[in-house]
Structure 1
Amino acid sequence: MKHLWDVPFLLLILLYLLAAVTSQVNPGVCRYPLGMSGGQIQDEDISASSQWSESTAARYGRLDFEEGDGAWCPEITVEPDSLKEFLQIDLRSLHFITLVGTQGRHAGGIGNEFSQMYKIKYSRDGSRWISWRNRQGKQVIEGNRNAYDIVLKDLEPPIIARYVRFMPVTDHSMNVCMRVELYGCEWLDGLVSYNAPAGEQMSLPAPPAYLNDSVYDGAVIHSMTEGLGQLTDGVCGLDDFTHSHVYNVWPGYDYVGWTNESLPSGFVEIMFEFDRIRNFTTMKVHCNNMYSRHVKAFRQVVCYFRSEADWEATPLSFSPVEDEKNPSARFITVNLANHMASAIKCQFFFADAWMLFSEITFQSDTAMYNTTLAPPKTALPPNIQPEDDPTHKVDDSNTRILIGCLVAIIFILVVIIVIILWRQVWQKMLEKSETFAYNHNQSSTISEQESNSTYERIFPLGPDYQEPSRIICKLPEFAQSSEEPASTSTAASKSTATTAVQDGAPHYAEADIVNLQGVTGSNTYAIPALTMDLLSGKDVAVEEFPRKLLTFKEKLGEGQFGEVHLCEAEGMQEFMNKEFLFDIPEDQPVLVAVKMLRSDASKNARNDFLKEIKIMSRLKDPNIIRLLAVCIYSDPLCMITEYMENGDLNQFLSRHEPEGQLALLSNAPTVSFNNLCYMAAQIASGMKYLSSLNFVHRDLATRNCLVGKNFTIKIADFGMSRNLYSGDYYRIQGRAVLPIRWMSWESILLGKFTTASDVWAFGVTLWEILNFCKEQPYSQLTDEQVIENTGEFFRDQKRQIYLPQPVLCPDSLYKIMLSCWRRNTKERPSFQEIHRALLELQP
């Protein structure tokens, strides 16, 4: 009872044993980590083609581990089109693998190497290796965008393998490192291949149905040999075979089908090879029965069994009931009468012109263990071991008794879990009623422990999902002395990292981060290179807007490459998609901000402007300024974004006063404390969205937040261009312009801009809001003293100066600010946690 996770652990082991009897795989459920991060996969079962040093050997390629030098790293730089380097895992038995996870080498902030792309090869016997391809035939899998986040990728189709290799792929010469995990479950069917005639094409009105096995991983000429494919991918076809579970594929994709015209024998013969001799109870065949298309389930199946070298003389025959009333696809269960075999050959006889199968599964009780494949290491608890006699056969009556006992034990465990959870919830409710504590470090530790559970299942959330940063860009505990010169560069294309030597092996250089050059000559968003390539490679999702419908109102600012204008746009409602709603009548102009690139801008600035358009068109959040339209058919290039009627938050709050006697005497407009919290929560929500995309804003402040009706807030990026706020920026030797009073110490000293540095800036923004923007942050310090203060954060000798607690700020809110300004980035809260805490403060 001491550790609650021990109960689900036992429950899952019991369910595993129960599954050994039913043995039918479900890809949506078969999603457990197989032991790289949990340690069930031993060091000797992890190998690699090469290693940079002993500290980057294959055994360190475990997901979410920082041991050794932080990851597996190959000996040499990976070159384009080179697949010589690989990390290999031996699972010791066949597994059904539905998901993979990858991570780069972070090493506490010292390293920043990761694989932007990779391929997978797998083998069931260790001799024949197969390249994984997705359902569209693509081999390359998109990998990591930074060194610390875990990227999970569904394998569609899943693979059945004992050995798996991860092979980094690059489009240019670069250093890569990897940490990996495999997710799935043991392949209890034991099927290693099926041989069958190749699927055929059915002529339909338009287009034809292709009934071939498109994911078969064996040889396909006139027949399919020595492979597995769609009949074992866990996906059952729909009633109408011309439609599919998979988006954007051809008719008939889910089924493998044959016509009796091409098979004069009148049957389809499929041979199934297994990993060892098994005691087979049933075979389930998922058949289509769309008789209106002359498709029916088989009328008879005859199966032959081979346990040693020869086939049994007497076959098993089974005839299902013919159904011409219900066109639904269905499983037909064939009783295999406990035949012992390592291979089964079945002849399926036609009942009509066509026969279509989408899935075939086998159920077998425990039979013989074959010495060629070791039993799985994690399938049984420590106190349950296989019988010493390798030919021991489990009696059916014992199986039924076992099932009954397991069901009873599971029921008891479920009751215990419910009682424990109820007690915990009640205890938390009592604690919450006594006090509110905002302790990010504690909560993140708990959540990290829970998420590292060996038997945590990864449920499908989508085709591509990036796990949010649990450890946002960890920084090293610096070994260098405080007298070393600190870098003040902010717009470097590569982050500067400490170079260390361990066991004589130097750490790798950090990977690229792309910064978009804005029209003002400054960088606003910092975007991981792979993220930018993916987003900017898509077509622009906004329309061209006629320039003649724009009316100039005010110049908001200008810079090296362009200008930002406040304009009125007539008829903008006609150019907007249905997702975007204006609360302005269609006959009235809409207030917009127009970023305009100078006609004489450089080619690089022009390319960055077009990339920014493409990326901004993908940002869709209620608290982020949206790109409405563009003018790119002629010069000057323009992007048209929202502009809120009440201007920026800095000017808005400076014109208002807090509610109270002073405001009554001065007759000034007021903003309540609740509305201040509401606006802050909206900023946190918008930043939560940006951070989920790995976007780093780099200039979060009240000047870059716009205010609409009813205190609506949207985050923008043109504050830097306005002369009004020139005093908020510090110019370094006439080059970089930095908002140093909002920047974290690592951004100023090391040029590191991450989500964690945006969290720091949010703390300063929250401080501005609660001061009604009446005072500049650190107003008592000069710019040089602000930079000196960041050095105190770096040295961490308790001499750093924090922004003081505003008069209107309660202790709970000031604790949130202080948590944003913690020295170590991994101890700062995420925007998701900040947003949740701010919502809890509201009545």
Structure 2
Amino acid sequence: WCYKAIYSSVYTRVLRDPSSLKGQINQSIFACVCRSPLGMSRGQILDEDISASSQWSDSTAAKYGRLDCEEGDGAWCPEIAGEPENINEFLQIDLRSLHFITLVGTQGRHAGGIGNEFAQTYKIKYSRDGSRWISWRNRQGKEVIEANRNAYDIVLKDLEPPIIARFIRFMPVIDHSMNVCMRVELYGCEWLDGLVSYNSPVGQQMTLNGQYIYLNDSVYDGAMSNSMTEGLGQLTDGMCGLDDFTHSHVYNVWPGYDYVGWTNESFSNGYVEIMFEFDRTRNFTTMKVHCNNMFSRRVKTFQKVVCYFRSESDWEATPISFSPVMDDVNPSARFVTVSLYNHMASAIKCQYYFSDIWMMFSEITFQSDTAMYNTTLSPPKTGPPIRDDPTHKVDDSNTRILIGCLVAIIFILVAIIVIILWRQVWQKMLEKVSRRMLDDELTASLSIQSETFTYNNNSPSSVPSEQESSSTYERIFPLGPDYQEPSRLVRKLPEFSQTSEDTGELQIVQEGVPHYAEADIVNLQGVTGGNTYAVPALTMDLLSGKDVAVEEFPRKLLTFKEKLGEGQFGEVHLCEAEGIQDFMDEDFSFDVIENQTVLVAVKMLRTDANKNARNDFLKEIKIMSRLKDPNIIRLLAVCMSSDPLCMITEYMENGDLNQFLSRHEPEGMIALLSNAPTVSYSNLHHMATQIASGMKYLSSLNFVHRDLATRNCLVGKNFTIKIADFGMSRNLYSGDYYRIQGRAVLPIRWMSWESILLGKFTTSSDVWAFGVTLWEMLTFCKEQPYSQLSDEQVIENTGEFFRDQRRQIYLPQPPMCPDPVYKLMLSCWHRNTKERPSFQEIHHTLLDCIGY
């Protein structure tokens, strides 16, 4: 929940414009994320979940305390008795689950001009379990919130820090001068992390040049003594610290406010231990820790982290360990992503080891799913007991009816299972027939078949030729009949279907019905882990011609350097090739000295790969051998005479564009102060133009890349760019892919809405990904696209693109990004695929119309 637009404000801060800094932060963090009304005014919060300490009468009961509603006598009004200082009246709301609350609204009672009661000030208390209540205080420690000055207007107040709670109480501050009535609303979103508390050592104090830097957790809402227990605080408040920890986003606070920090002198074991408690057992994928790295002041990211997991009552004996790459060049604060490998746990205990004198964190977030055996019907562990009516008795007739209903449900489920099994058998028969036909046609030669291919880890699938189908390549084939949709998305996305394949247009089947789109999800990975191009049959026909002659390269001339990535049936290695210039076509030349070794990427098929994987590997060679463009990675040679089969492709000496840009800074004050290497905006423009040129070439062949991103662009000398295809295989970028039920992995943050919801990958969806790639470049890859959203919220946002009700969230304009460039990005993200520019138009625009 760290709204990572913070780095974008650094450039504004360097320009020494504090007022602009504050405005930019507030807009970036809270403009459109997690500020939705939770349902008081619209009725999503039920009457039974609204209670109060007292009421004037039945017509001013708690259920009438809904913002902008006029039912009953127009508001909740407490029955006031006793002295004001002893009055603790409250209006309580049960949200049924933990929520992240960023904003509250209040209103008085006017009742069509009859009433004139309102609360001038109020306090808020909140609870996560219904038993321990916490008084909210702002970042300066003030409890009282200024409210209404009349009975009509709605007054909205930002909660800084935000609240993570299930139960909220509004407590009007009552005096002798007037009666009070209230109508309220809460704004925020569901707390998907599931974190209910963290226990940690208390933050410490640093002395820097005679100035005290207070690195304590000032908003922690648990118990604090020598350690902090049973609470949440700055590590979950959605506010990431600046690069310079002595400055803060917040005015009128002390230096060091944004960070919780510790010195290694206080920990003889060399690490800080933090324990995280969750609402229930969850399946954890990653942990992200926002760390300061101002090494000039002896502050660095952690050297190593060791995490233990507790699923029930006992801690697992075997922990996981992760050591990030130390960075002594770039002093910027950054997120460190730790893979948790789908461990099941209700608590995690992590030991963060010092790499220098000081270690400082500003935010820790988790990505997880609720464990399968915790159904959505089960109340959270921390929830209150179910309220039963003790006077109600269940008679035998009701029991018989219940049993009858259960029996009927069982029969229906059995019938559904039989139908599903029948469909599975039928589809497997069709797959076997199709696979047998392909196997018979496939030979060891590299000739190109006139087919449309979409690849996954198991087997190729084919579609009818152009004469048999009127549609170009748009449809992705399913993983198989045993595919299961993500259970947590079933209730969140609209139901829709596809019209004729000629138009590819969509029509709403039942507007507003929450149902996951019945899209076919494809595994984009090839056998060695990288993504595979989608190639239409028509294009393959045009390219078929003569067989492709690919030179056999001697294995002994390859020297292994490092493993770049891996897939289910193969690996990608970085190697040095000796004398590979002699194996090249006449139209290809290396910019290297004669007899010098050349860096190459070698895709290697494992010797134990099955027949289908070998066939897919040969087909990938056929596709790659046809690509000849200065901005596309070329297939150089193959090793096919013996196992393991290998294909050798280009590699660039500066690695991928994501890592290259993240190690650099834009030209300006920050680069001068930090002595960091820079990339000018003219160089960014040059690189973006090359990517557009390479994609223009692919689109001219009707090839669909399906995973365009900075991680799949390689950088050579003089900012030369070549588009590659093996970013998906690298563990470094595992956090960029969303796993569907343990099967497919999808780069959802780069995918168009129709790719996510319909499984449709076209040149237009590549255009969408180009817009995201351009956004990455202009942010110097310092953050992930939509970093303020969880994976599920990214998918929910695609539903907003489909509904097109102006509620979709776009990536924000990067700092110092020219307006024409951002306008180009927005055109790439147009809802209507026909209104997105072509790559030829994008390339022309970048060449002629846009200057940096």
TM-score (norm 2): 0.43
Q: Which has the larger radius of gyration?
A: 1
Question: More relative contact order in 1 or in 2 (CA 8 Å, sep 6+)?
Answer: 1
